Structure 1
Amino acid sequence: MGAGWAWAVVAAMSATPGPQVVSPLVKIRPGVAVEGSREARLSVARGECEATQVVLPGRVERARVEPLALKGPGAELKASVWRQVFVDVKTPSNGEGRPGPWPDALVPVEAPVTNASHPAVLYVEVCAPEKQAPGTYRGELKVKAGDARAVPVPFSVEVQPFALPATASLPTSFGISLYSIARGHGVSPESPEARELLRAYGRTLLEHRVSAHGMSMSPPPVRFENGRAVVDWRAYDAEMGPFLDGSLLPSGARFTTAEVRDSRQASTDAEKTAYYRAFAEHFRQKGWPAQLFFYAKDEPKPEDVPLVQAQSKRVRAAGGIPVLVTSPLDDSLRVAADIPTPTINCFYPRPGPQTCRTVLTPGTLRARLPKRAKVWWYQSCNSHGCSGGPPEDKAVDAAYSGWASYMVDHPAPLNRAMGVMAYASGVDGELYYDTVFAYNTKKDVWADVFEFGGNGDGTLFYPGTPARLGTQGHQPVVSLRLKHIRDGLEDYEYLRLLTELGDGAFAQAAARRLARSGWDITRDAGQWESVRQEVTARLRKLWSESEYAKRPGRQTPDSTP
């Protein structure tokens, strides 16, 4: 169910030193013993990426990797390889975390090593295109650490007959900002270089099944004639069109959502409504299937209620654009929200102090909403704690521990669990406020991503500058956590596909074995991999019996015949 469900054989190592293959659901830290295998065995659906970790022995000041090509019944599969870089956590996110080095950034293997005392860990990823021929593919990853001879690591990849859709089935909207990116990379936000970087960051999110809001944040210019909004869409379409029409990636993947960019040029209620109406009409004319929405005042306080109600009234008058409100269920806001979006801790009651003022299960929440409403959720410091460090009160620490989390110093299964939870709960989408928040601070992002009481809260990238990477140009550097988020979204696709093929009960039972609630999540990598194998076997059987397997090209259920 997604990259990271590596079928790596976990076995005791022999006395001979050599690379170890370790599940990516284990965060490898200095001084913490791990057990692995001498070979990597991966399973990947068509249209999916799968990864594992290769741990090199001893101190490694430089490493070289020969390109890994895997041969089998179809076109060669290529592997991408990165080296993990550690973040020094000074203040744990809560009692769940620990101080010290934690792996997170994924840099090119040839990038300068800043601390050779840290474990040398490679992240090796194989992606199978949707049209890849099923079957077994084999090859060797040849790694040369320092002056030692190159050591081969056998790889086998089983490409499954079933396929995942290129565009994510679960709508998402994660924040990103041109201005933060420009500041993190030390370039002018008005420069062509900043625009190219913005597209690279957006492309990287799309490659990880994530859609974005924010981007350049520039609303299209508008003027008003006889009550009608006349909008110049050229710059907006140049920026957003490739993300919305499927032309950016070879897979045809598209953003699942897009937010209305409010414009100060629309000053009256009538002008705002006309402008919103023009936004909705433009999306219809373009045929963009992304869910267009209006992001109301974020986390409104009681004094913000009149503003949110006024925003909602103007948007609804335009028609066709739902209003998203980030708040627990509140009678004063319920009538204003078409997409009510509480934090995840508002969905799961638990013993001890509650960290949300209104805790309702998804079913109970839906019963109190209009039928047209969609229910989204999001993570914030309301679930990991907003002050940082373990609270002195053990009951409070327990209340903020165990939740699905995007923090650096939390276990990988917690980073990954949102997809499984989304399937089990039936929520309609996920919001996340930012992916580059720390770029807009004065700190060195590579040394410190602590914000809002959490390590990595709102920051899922690192600025890949030439000085840091030794490259000619700038590039986004992804985090392990973004990989885990992608893996979770692929978990969602596995479970959704299983349901599409007629066995939703099996899928629900599998999901519950991994995430019994938002705060009771299996940490054991072996258990995740065991469930993965069972779900894969069930999918293979149902796929072979289904109508999709008989179609030319074996389209996914969401594909156009």
Structure 2
Amino acid sequence: MGVGWAWAVSAVLSAAPGGPQVVSPLVKVRPDATPKGAAKAHLSVARGECEATQVVLPKGVTRVTMKPLALKGPGAPLTAEAWREAYLDVKTPSNGQGRPGPWPDALVPLSAPANPRHPTVVYVEVCAPRKQAAGTYAGSLSAAADGKPLPEVPFTLEVQPFELPATSSLPNSFGISLYSIAKGHGLAAESPEAKGLLRAYGKALLEHRVSAHGMGMDPPGVKFQDGRAVLDWTAYDAEMAPFLDGSLLPSGARFTTSDVRDSKKASTDAEKTAYYRAFQQHFQDKGWPAQLFFYAKDEPKPEDVPLVKAQSKRVRDAGGGIPVLVTTPLDAALQGAADILTPTLNCFYPREGPQTCRAVANTAQVRTRLPPRAKVWWYQSCNSHGCTGGTPPDAKLDRAYSDWASYMVDHPAPLNRAMGVLAFSSGVDGELYFDTVFAYNTKKDVWTDLFEFGGNGDGTLFYPGTPAKLGGGEHQPVVSLRLKHIRDGLEDYEYLRLLTQLGDGDFARTAAKRLARSGYEISQDPGEWEQVRREVTARLAKRWTSEQAKGPGRRTSGGTP
């Protein structure tokens, strides 16, 4: 459960006056609040996990410099990466739970220009390789504010004996587009620079345990011969193979899923089916383990039902190896069309007041209405925060759209993070999210306005790191705090899943419910997340060590530690 803050925060140690304060990453540091912090950082990390904390510096700083942080211990030294948190000025809150004003979100290089009116917060992250020696690592962070040295911040990192898989155990698929990226950076989509940026964005998602659909968008070239589809995979493989074969990252992480890119050159039903069959065969020939899927018409309306059914039939006629994903609640009109039924989050949890989903049913109930091999995914939409923005005049409606797990900038960090815990408790099979760079394709300045679909940040989890914005000469993706919270939530899922595999499922389920009783009953107390983190970590370490002592061949079933 990737919390990664100082475990001593709850003790509220006092730092030197005007000196750095260590604050939980589950606290969004706003200009009108001064969170109490600690003088030192104490992090816990599994092997194969990244953990972070926030270091709050004195206000009014325009330039931050930092010496490399090296943590020494029983294994190879561990180094840290650090970014400064940039602020988004929210004008219209996402709902009654949001607030106008500056909110931290973009993680920019320390060298990027700063706004002295905003708090100076440094996000410090340490990643432990999967083969890192367990034990205690220590070092000190040395920083200077506008050239003046600050008191050092002692860092202690406990590397746990257990190991997380490199690839997410929870399948997921978040949208991204070369064409949106190119527009956001002011580049030609066909340029080598734009294509290199696409890989950098995809790599950033993979580093955060997120798989992507869309990507370069363009389908492979195809021609049809004697009823067969012959595809030219050259450009597709050059783009996608590193994400599917595990060669992009040292960890060997792969995308969990990949979408079929429809081709306009396949015009008849027979040609489309032949094309899908060739797509499926190519993945099999390559040995790519990612689940290939077909994304049917998004959020189909009643008039779209014939189209979705026709899409489903064409894909299934290809041999049944490509599941059809349909974003809809349970709907008798679409019965049997989906192999991956994907309702919105609020469709899984009944709630008093105005209904925000026309067919509410939990995961178990949904499964009874689906074929045995069908999967149940979910996704967030403006149904979680309200699709108009601002505080609704009807208090009951405002309540109906409040407190849900949310990826909005102006919502508490625990809500940004809660999907992993909820996925474990609910038993869903995967998560979909429609886009990560949606606002790039609009005419607005993404750095000052992310308001879309009634929410701040809906569909946008990156910022375009252009030379004009960050300085330097290269374009780069700028990740958000929200993407970090999503990563931590996926690590929460891994912790709970691993604990269950090791025979402690009852404890894992109880721990998950302490943090999120439902999709809208989520603890927003960082201290409670901290306490659950400590307890789950202790149980996992004990179980893992006991399992290792049994030796090969004597370990319990349910997965190899």
1:131 alignment partner in structure 2: 131
Which moved further from structure 2: 1-10 or 246-255? 1-10
Distance 1:49 1:103 in 2: 20
Amino acid across the alignment from 1:162: F
Which moved further from structure 2: 540-549 or 300-309? 540-549
Percent identity of the aligned residues?
A: 73
Distance 1:137 1:22 in 2: 20
2:269 alignment partner in structure 1: 269
Amino acid across the alignment from 1:197: L
Which moved further from structure 2: 363-372 or 408-417? 363-372
TM-score, length of structure 1 as denominator length: 0.97
Q: Secondary structure at the match of 1:375?
A: strand
What is the deviation of 1:334?
2.3
1:90 alignment partner in structure 2: 91
Amino acid across the alignment from 1:262: D
Distance 1:309 1:517 in 2: 33
Distance 1:199 1:8 in 2: 39
Superposed, which structure 2 residues align to 1:355-374 within 5 Å? 355-374=356-375
Q: Is the 8 A contact 1:43 1:50 kept in 2?
A: yes
After superposition, give the CA deviation of every residue in 1:504-540 in whole Å (9 maximum; x if it has no partner). 1110000000000000100000000100000000001
1:229 alignment partner in structure 2: 229
Gaps of 5+ in 1: none
Q: Secondary structure at the match of 2:138?
A: strand
1:291 alignment partner in structure 2: 291
What is the deviation of 1:12?
5.1
What is the deviation of 1:370?
1.1
Superposed, which structure 2 residues align to 1:264-413 within 5 Å? 264-319=264-319, 320-413=321-414
Q: Is the 8 A contact 1:334 1:340 kept in 2?
A: no
Q: Secondary structure at the match of 1:203?
A: helix
What is the deviation of 1:8?
4.2
Distance 2:392 2:463 in 1: 29
What is the deviation of 1:79?
0.2
What is the deviation of 1:151?
2.2
Amino acid across the alignment from 2:131: K
Q: Is the 8 A contact 1:43 1:157 kept in 2?
A: yes
Amino acid across the alignment from 2:253: A
After superposition, give the CA deviation of every residue in 1:264-297 in whole Å (9 maximum; x if it has no partner). 1111000100110111111111000000000000
Superposed, which structure 2 residues align to 1:167-182 within 5 Å? 167-182=167-182
After superposition, give the CA deviation of every residue in 1:299-331 in whole Å (9 maximum; x if it has no partner). 000000000000000000112000000000001
1:159 alignment partner in structure 2: 159
What is the deviation of 1:13?
2.7
After superposition, give the CA deviation of every residue in 1:216-266 in whole Å (9 maximum; x if it has no partner). 101001111110111111111110000000000000000000000000111
Distance 2:164 2:519 in 1: 25
Distance 2:16 2:55 in 1: 17
1:515 alignment partner in structure 2: 516
Distance 2:476 2:212 in 1: 18
What is the deviation of 1:382?
1.1
Amino acid across the alignment from 2:194: A
Gaps of 5+ in 2: none
Pair 527,168 (structure 1): closer, same or farther in 2 beyond 3 Å: same
Q: Is the 8 A contact 1:60 1:145 kept in 2?
A: yes
1:217 alignment partner in structure 2: 217
Q: Secondary structure at the match of 2:159?
A: strand
2:110 alignment partner in structure 1: 109
Distance 1:355 1:4 in 2: 34
Distance 2:159 2:524 in 1: 26
Amino acid across the alignment from 1:283: F
Q: Is the 8 A contact 2:46 2:128 kept in 1?
A: yes
Q: Is the 8 A contact 1:348 1:517 kept in 2?
A: yes
Q: Is the 8 A contact 2:23 2:54 kept in 1?
A: yes
Amino acid across the alignment from 1:35: K
1:18 alignment partner in structure 2: 19
Q: Is the 8 A contact 2:414 2:522 kept in 1?
A: yes
Pair 549,26 (structure 1): closer, same or farther in 2 beyond 3 Å: farther
Which moved further from structure 2: 465-474 or 516-525? 465-474
Superposed, which structure 2 residues align to 1:185-200 within 5 Å? 185-200=185-200
2:541 alignment partner in structure 1: 540
Distance 2:15 2:135 in 1: 31
Pair 104,228 (structure 1): closer, same or farther in 2 beyond 3 Å: same
Q: Secondary structure at the match of 2:264?
A: coil
Amino acid across the alignment from 1:245: D
Which moved further from structure 2: 15-24 or 74-83? 15-24
Distance 1:396 1:282 in 2: 49
Distance 2:437 2:257 in 1: 19
Pair 189,557 (structure 1): closer, same or farther in 2 beyond 3 Å: farther
What is the deviation of 1:198?
0.1
**For the aligned residues, what is the CA RMSD?**
1.5
Q: Is the 8 A contact 1:3 1:49 kept in 2?
A: no
TM-score, length of structure 2 as denominator length: 0.97
Distance 1:548 1:403 in 2: 42
Q: Secondary structure at the match of 1:81?
A: strand
Amino acid across the alignment from 2:49: E
Amino acid across the alignment from 1:315: V
Aligned length: 557
Distance 2:87 2:222 in 1: 47
After superposition, give the CA deviation of every residue in 1:395-440 in whole Å (9 maximum; x if it has no partner). 0000000000000000000000000000000000000000000000
Q: Secondary structure at the match of 2:65?
A: strand
Q: Is the 8 A contact 2:382 2:455 kept in 1?
A: yes
Amino acid across the alignment from 1:249: L
Distance 1:6 1:266 in 2: 56
After superposition, give the CA deviation of every residue in 1:323-380 in whole Å (9 maximum; x if it has no partner). 0000000011121000000000000001111100000011111111111110000000
Amino acid across the alignment from 1:186: G
Q: Is the 8 A contact 1:403 1:520 kept in 2?
A: yes
1:149 alignment partner in structure 2: 149
